[in-house]
C-alpha cells in the first residue's frame, strides 16, 4: 500500500516546490495561517498538506510555526546556488503526467512525452527558448553538484592538466573541478545556445581565464581534445549504438594515458539494489526513443571493446557512480 500510493507523497512535495514553499520559509519559521496566506491557498486542506510535509520530513513544525529542514532549506530554496528544485519543477510539469502512461510505454516501447502527440522534440524546443534553457541548465547544475564534488575528491587530478565536460549545461562540473584544483584548465562542450549561459556561470566564479566553451553537436562534430573527457548524465539518453559512438569519439580525442569519466545513476551489476537507476531507465523509456540506463559491467565492457586499456567503477554520491576508462 505504501508503494502503490507513494505518488501521494511525491505530489505533495512537487506542489510544495511549485508553490515555492521552501523559499518563502528561507528567512525563518512562519505560523500556519501566515504561510497559507503568503502562498495564496484556501484554508481547507492547507493544514493537512503542511502537516503531511512535516510527516514526510520535508518541513519542521514547532508549535504552530513551520520551518524548512536543513536539507530542504539547502536544496529547495530557489535563491541558493545548491538549489536542485528545477529538476523537481520539470518532474511536476512534465514527468508526473507522462508517467501515468507507463503501461502504454511498456506495451509499445515508445516515448510518452510531447513526441507522443506529435509535438516538437523536448530538447529541440528547449534549446530554442533562452529563458527555459537557462532555467533547465541551472537545474542540471544542481542535480550534478554532488557528483561534481565527489569527482573532484575521488579522481587523481594531479596526473592530468586539462578537462572538458561533454554536454556541460552551464558548466557546473568543470567549475567545481577548477575551483578545487588550481592547475586544471579546459571547459565544456555543448550545443551553441548553451554558450552564453556557460560563459556567464564561469565568469561569475572568476574562471574565465581557465575555462572556455566549446560549441558543437557531439554526434556530428569531433570532440575537443583534453587529458580527461567527462560524460555526466549523458549516455543514458541514447541507444546502445549512440553510446558506443560517443565513447569511440572520446577514445579518439584522448591522448595515450588520458581518461574518460562516465557518470550516471549506474545500475548495480546484479540489478537489484539501485532502485533509482532502474526507475531512471524507465524514465528514459518515457522520454526518449531508445535511451536506457546501464550497469557498470555494461559500460566497462563497452570501453574494453573500444580499446580502453583499463577501467574501474567507483560510487560517487546518492545513486550516482562513475566509470573511468584509461586509454
259-264 vs 321-326, strand pairing mode: antiparallel
Classify residue 208 by burial, with Cβ atoms within 10 Å: 0-12, 13-18, 19+. Answer: exposed
* DSSP one-letter string for 21-37: HHHHTTTS-EEHHHHHH
Closest Cα partner for 30 from 9, 10, 14, 46?
46
| Full 3-state SS string of 171-187 | CHHHHHHHHHCCCCEEE
- CA gap 99, 146 in Å, rounded: 26
- CA gap 228, 173 in Å, rounded: 13
Q: Which residues are catalytic?
A: 236
Do the beta carbons of residue 56 and residue 93 sit within 8 Å?
A: no
**Nearby residues of 53 by Cβ (< 8 Å), 6 or more positions away:** 12, 13, 16, 21, 59
* DSSP one-letter string for 197-264: HHHHHHHHTT-TTTEEEEE--TTTSPPPP-SEEEEES-GGGS-HHHHHHHHHHHHHHSPTT-EEEEEE
Amino acid at each position: 500500500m505504501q508503494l502503490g500510493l507513494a505518488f501521494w507523497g511525491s505530489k505533495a512535495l512537487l506542489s510544495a516546490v511549485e508553490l515555492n514553499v521552501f523559499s518563502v520559509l528561507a528567512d525563518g519559521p512562519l505560523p500556519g495561517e501566515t504561510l497559507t496566506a503568503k502562498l495564496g491557498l484556501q484554508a481547507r486542506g492547507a493544514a493537512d498538506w503542511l502537516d503531511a510535509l512535516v510527516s514526510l520530513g520535508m518541513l519542521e513544525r514547532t508549535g504552530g510555526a513551520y520551518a524548512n529542514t536543513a536539507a530542504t532549506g539547502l536544496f529547495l530554496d530557489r535563491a541558493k546556488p545548491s538549489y536542485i528544485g528545477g529538476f523537481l519543477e520539470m518532474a511536476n510539469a512534465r514527468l508526473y503526467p507522462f508517467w501515468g502512461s507507463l503501461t502504454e510505454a511498456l506495451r509499445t516501447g515508445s516515448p510518452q512525452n510531447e513526441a507522443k502527440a506529435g509535438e516538437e522534440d523536448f530538447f529541440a524546443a528547449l534549446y530554442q527558448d533562452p529563458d527555459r534553457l537557462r532555467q533547465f541548465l541551472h537545474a542540471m547544475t544542481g542535480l550534478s553538484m554532488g557528483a561534481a564534488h565527489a569527482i573532484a575528491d575521488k579522481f587523481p587530478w594531479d596526473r592530468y592538466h586539462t578537462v572538458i565536460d561533454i554536454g556541460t549545461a552551464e558548466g557546473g562540473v568543470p567549475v567545481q573541478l577548477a575551483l578545487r584544483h588550481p592547475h586544471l584548465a579546459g571547459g565544456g562542450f555543448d550545443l551553441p545556445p548553451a554558450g552564453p549561459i556557460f560563459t556567464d556561470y564561469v565568469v561569475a566564479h572568476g574562471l574565465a581565464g581557465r575555462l572556455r566553451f566549446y560549441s558543437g553537436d557531439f554526434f556530428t562534430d569531433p570532440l575537443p581534445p583534453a587529458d580527461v573527457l567527462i560524460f555526466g548524465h549523458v549516455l543514458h539518453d541514447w541507444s546502445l549504438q549512440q553510446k558506443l559512438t560517443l565513447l569511440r569519439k572520446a577514445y579518439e580525442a584522448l591522448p595515450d594515458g588520458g581518461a574518460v569519466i562516465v557518470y550516471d545513476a549506474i545500475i548495480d551489476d546484479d540489478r537489484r539494489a539501485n532502485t533509482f537507476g532502474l526507475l531512471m531507465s524507465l524514465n528514459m523509456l518515457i522520454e526518449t526513443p531508445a535511451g536506457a540506463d546501464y550497469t557498470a559491467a555494461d559500460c566497462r565492457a563497452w570501453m574494453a571493446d573500444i580499446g580502453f586499456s583499463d577501467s574501474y567503477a567507483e560510487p560517487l554520491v546518492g545513486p550516482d557512480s562513475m566509470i573511468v576508462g584509461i586509454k
